[in-house]
Each structure stands twice: as C-alpha cells, then as structure tokens.
Amino acid sequence: MAVTATRETEVLEQVPRGLLIGGDWRDSSSGAVFDVEDPATGRTLRSLADATPEDGVAALDAAVAAQRDWAGTAPRERGEILRRAFELVTRRAEDFALLMTLEMGKPLAEARGEVTYGAEFLRWFSEEAVRTSGRYSVAPDGKSRLLVSKKPVGPCLLITPWNFPLAMATRKIAPAVAAGCTMVLKPANLTPLTSSLFAAVMEEAGLPAGVLNVIHTTDAGGVTGPLIKDPRLRKLSFTGSTPVGRSLLAAASDNVLRTSMELGGNAPFLVFEDADVDAAVNGAMLAKLRNMGEACTAANRFIVHESIADDFAAGLAGRMAAMTPARGTEEHSTLGPLIDAKSRNKVHDLVSAARGDGAELVTGGAPVDGAGYFYQPTVLTNVPRSSRIMREEIFGPVAPILTFATEDEAVELANDTEYGLVAYVFTRDLNRGLRMGERLDTGMMGLNAGVISNAAAPFGGVKQSGLGREGGAEGIEEYLYTQYIGIADPTAS
C-alpha cells in the first residue's frame, strides 16, 4: 500500500528544525532557514535552520568543551550508548526509511536496506569501543619498558554526502563515539533531515550534550572553512567528490589535521568469458542501480569479454528496461529520481556525448517526462574508451559497455583511471579472481558479488579515491592516535 500524506507528515514532524549545538536545538544566529526538496516531486518537505559561520564556531566550542570528559568516559559506557542507539534506530526503521525516501528519493525497499546497513555501524562499533588495546613490553636491550596506548584524537569535523543520509552519518559518528571523540557534523544540505533525526536518537540513547553537534547549512565552505583553520579541531572526515576532497586536504594541511577522505570512484565491472552470465547480470543490476547509480561504489564501466558481450548486454538491457521509475513511496517503484536537475542534466550530457562518440543505445537514453528528476535506465554498447562517460563518474542509471579479448587487456582497461575505490570481477576461475585482487589498483573488490559494503569490513580506496578506511577493525583507528611512554627498568638496582 502506498504511503499516505498523513504518514509522511507524521515522520517529517519528528525532525528537529534547528541546529544541535551543545545539547540545545537552536535557530540559526541569522534566523535564516532553507528548504529541503522532494526530488520526486520538486515540492518542499521541511525548512531547517541555515547555519552561519558563527554557528559553526559555536558548535566547535561545544565539542571542545565536552572533549575531556567524553574522552574520560569508560569505553563500556560509550559502547552501551551506541548499542542503545542501534536498538532505537532498528525500532524506528520505518520512520528512517520513509524519511530517506522523501528527501533522497530511493524506493522504500532500498531505504529499509540502508537502515539495516547504517544501524550495523552502531552495533559494530559498540563492540569495538572496548577493544582499543595497547601493549607493554621490554625494550630489546632490556634496559627500559615500552608502554604503548591509544587515545582519542580530539574534536572532529565530519562532512557527509547526500546519497546515503543515514549510513554515511553512522559510519563516521559510531567510530568517533567509540574512540572518545567529540564531533561537529555537517550533513549535505540536500538531505539533512535524516541526520537531524538520528542526532535526536543519539540524545535519546544517552549521548552527553556537546559530544555530537549538527550544523546544516547552504554555505558549506563559509561554515566549515573557519573550523578547519581552527587549531582546536584535530580531525577532518569527508565523503564526497575528489575535487572538493583535494581542496579540503590542502586546507587541512595548515594545521596538520588527521584526515579521512572517501572520494570519487570509476568502478570497473569485469565479466570474463567463463562467467555465469545470468549471475553477472544480477550482480550488474546491484552494482549499477543501487541508489539509482548515485553511489561512489556504483559500477561505472562494464568491461566484458567479447565472446559473451552480446548476451550480457541483452540480459542487462532487458532487466534495466523492466525497471519502474516512480516516487519511492509508491508500491510499484523500483527506481527513484536523481537528486536534482543538475545531476540529471549531467547524466544526460554524458549519454549524449557517448552517443556522439559512436556508442550504440540499447535502451533508455533520456530523462523521464513529468515531475521529479527521473532518468531512464540506460545501456550503451560499443562505447569508445576515450569517451567522457568512461572517465567521469556517472552517478546515474547508465551502463556503458566495452569489450576486451585478453586478461591483460581487461586489467589495463580497468586500471586506466585516476580512481581506485572498488572493482567488480565475475569469473568461475578462482585463481583468476585472486589474480585480479593482486593486479587491479583498487581499495576493494567484489568477486562474483555486486554489493560488498559491510560494517565489519574496511571501506576505502586508493589513488584519487581517497585515503583512510571506514568500518572494520580499521575504522576506529582513524579516530585514535598512538602514545608511547618509555619507562626506566623497574628491576634495575
């Protein structure tokens, strides 16, 4: 049954309108607000306070004031707060799913999947909070003792993107909480509602005032710039585009901030001649159309062996053409809108340019008429390697296919990009799959799998796809620094 207008209003009314600073939900210091739009209809969902640079500094003031006490909080207590947050988010899964569908556009079924994924970071890091162990050892010469411990890096600025409104917040907040760091969260102004509701849940879970502060704004650079220059800030974590990430890295260098950067992707999807074509098509649908293709992990280039390329293209085109673009609250929706008109125009420009370069259109290839920012699921074949669509992140439901003849050629094509976030490989040959892990320049690889993101695994890339890791045992290390104390030999007379 489709979601009613009454139900939508009920969920939207749960979202605080203000900025969370030092435990208080407050208006912008300027009194300004901005509207959050439903990308499926273009209508305003809710208005939120529009933070100023002064509000950003106030949020950092609150984080700094709370840091010492929070760092001294028992790891078990920090873990229990995260565990309670996990239970609260799980209990309110339908609220969070609907809210994400409204502000981001993804179908409800997919939004429910994000709630499960995003909540898992809370559970995972609730368990990791008590595992930040050090070591005590005898120096090699026997004349001293070595005491090594882990300590929280301090106040952090967390900048999240619009495409996974819950999971990108929990993936950063959970390890920071577990490690004992305070935070200023700056969510994307396109999808800030979920972050605000989640912050309210963290308060309900018992997170002390000032540990998490939330500043949504339409002036991202103006608000975050002074914070990055402030010597009291000790870490910056950003998920977003590579150009913005490079700029933030340059700014962070002045104060030598700890940085985590999860940036752009140009994921190759390799299908070898021995692959199960049906399984490869199933994997391609997941790797390409998850989140309407608006994911840094989305398969961007389909590199298929020439002997099975026609079968693969036909199978993929058939599945893509059967998708139903509609508002995510509708029962029949299997594909939501893109986030805004600018994004849809970029996707169409890439498709048009590829066709101009000689690519052949198999299905789709145009915006969907009517309200919202929908784009037809699209498959292109015989795409020239030099085409822009093979170089740029598409961020839409478009699958360009090119072919290869040998394994070496496939590897060369896959590595021919400045990015290195994730790659997908389909083959029945396990040795070949393991070779791909060694030969592909990528931080992650899916072997016969179209989705590999997991809270228990380290997420991150190489080259222009960023640095640092989120999730897994590695995730909490991004929020800790190592301290060494040299101790005189206690056995010396």
- Determine which one of 37, 156, 294, 296 is catalytic: 296
Pick from 421, 402, 209, 169: which is nearest to 295 by CA?
421
Cα dist from 266 to 132, 137, 295, whole Å: 34, 45, 10
Rounded to whole angstroms, the Cα distance separating 215 from 21 reads 8
Distance from C-alpha of 189 to C-alpha of 171, rounded to nearest angstrom? 18
Q: Write phi, then psi, for 104 (nearest 5 degrees).
A: -110, -30
Look at strands 44-49 and 33-37 and give their pairing: antiparallel
Task: In whole angstroms, give the CA distance from residue 167 to residue 173.
Answer: 10
- Helical H segments across 13-74, by residue range: 53-71
Which amino acid, 472? G
CA atoms of 425 and 416, how far apart (whole Å)? 16
296 is catalytic: yes
Q: Which of 110, 262, 407, 477 is catalytic?
A: 262
> Which of 252, 253, 286, 246 is closest to 269 using CA atoms?
286
Nearest to 397, CA basis, from 317, 461, 459:
317
Q: Which phi and psi angles does 333 have, rounded to 5°?
A: -70, 130
80 CB burial (10 A radius; 0-12, 13-18, 19+):
middle
- Which residues, including other chains, have CB under 8 Å from residue 425's CB and lie 6 or more apart? 270, 272, 432, 433, 436, 440, 445, 446, 447, 448
Specify whether the CB–CB gap between 60 and 155 falls below 8 A: yes
Q: Residue 445 phi/psi, 5° resolution?
A: -150, 135
How many other CB atoms are there within 10 angstroms of residue 298's CB atom?
28
Q: Which residues are catalytic?
A: 262, 296
